[in-house]
Amino acid sequence: MASLRCPPCLLAIFFLVSISSAQLSSTFYDSSCPGALDKIKSMVKAAVNKENRMGASLLRLHFHDCFVNGCDGSVLLDDTATFTGEKTARPNNNSIRGFEVIDSIKSEIEAMCAQVVSCADILAVAARDSVVALGGPTWTVPLGRRDATTASLAAANSDLPSPALDLSNLTSAFSKKGLSTTDMVALSGGHTVGQARCVTFRNRIYNETNIDSSFATSTRSNCPSSGGDDNLSPLDVATPRAFDNFYYKNLVSKKGLLHSDQQLFNGGSTDSQVMTYSKNMAKFFTDFAAAMVNMGNISPLTGSAGEIRLNCRKTN
């Protein structure tokens, strides 16, 4: 009843929600840098054609950016005298890659439109274009993010989901970022491409029981019980170079590479969603596209906040 006595409060709430929803716009660069999106698309396509794995790497860069203090390009910053960046955080060290591709794109964009297009937006668009280049869905990317002037090693260590998490902790990690369980299961489908290091799945293939025995045996050949931490195995053993729904088919067959992957199909609340995606790739594509937009909306810097970096690796 109290709300009925406070119409100005309702108006204020409506105004704030309107501002929030209008922060980013798909037409943000239409006038200020009309060729930017085409340039990013062509350069991403060339990079993926040169090295298929790069598509997964660029997708992952956007994810690892957004989960640490929002989608602000902070993951791209090198260490400085005043802060330690995110590149050496436990989930990132010797793992995330693709920085040189982003550098090249930024350089070309700067030559077209000086200090207009943010590194954070380049990451968001490159992630979309990488998925498309690998045969996955497309979506309209809201734009207008600005770049952070600092980064956080501590936040990267605490906020990026570990491959060792159980379902409840995974759900919590995504919920803290405003993402639903549906978003989490759909975004996990990004593991239909890319590779993981032996150190991230060794315990699963040697010690867990909810795993196909032949899959475990074959995976051990490239991941010894000790040593070889950086040896790589595909996250999707069936079609590692294509963005499709085989990730979910693998989970149903108990062939998830990471502990956190198989948790999505392990007798819990997300089993039905995994099963749906394993049978209906169109549904997965639709939900993945929507989830990527939701993820890309995590705490962006807009307006006069942050800056537009000239070099994605350092502040201006």
Catalytic residue positions, numbered: 64
93 Cβ contact list (under 8 Å, min separation 6)? 87
- 129 annotated ligand-binding residue: no
220 Cβ contact list (under 8 Å, min separation 6)? 205, 206
Phi first, then psi: what are they for 80, rounded to 5°?
A: -130, 180
- 68 annotated ligand-binding residue: yes
* Cα–Cα separations (whole angstroms), residue 161 to 84, 113, 137: 20, 36, 24
List, in sequence order, the alpha helices (H) in 87-118.
99-112
- 239 annotated ligand-binding residue: yes
- 240 annotated ligand-binding residue: no
Which amino acid makes up residue 238?
A
- 30 annotated ligand-binding residue: no
Residue whose entry in the numeric block shows the structure tokens 């598509």: 55
- 161 annotated ligand-binding residue: yes
List, in sequence order, the alpha helices (H) in 144-297.
153-159, 167-175, 181-188, 198-207, 213-220, 246-252, 259-262, 271-279, 281-296
- 108 annotated ligand-binding residue: no
Which amino acid makes up residue 236?
D
- 244 annotated ligand-binding residue: yes
Q: Which two tokens stand for residue 312?
A: 């994605």
- 259 annotated ligand-binding residue: no
* Cα–Cα separations (whole angstroms), residue 167 to 33, 146, 158, 176, 202: 43, 33, 17, 14, 19
- Show binding-site residues for Ca(2+): 65, 68, 70, 72, 74, 86, 192, 236, 239, 244
- Show binding-site residues for substrate: 161
- Show binding-site residues for heme b: 191
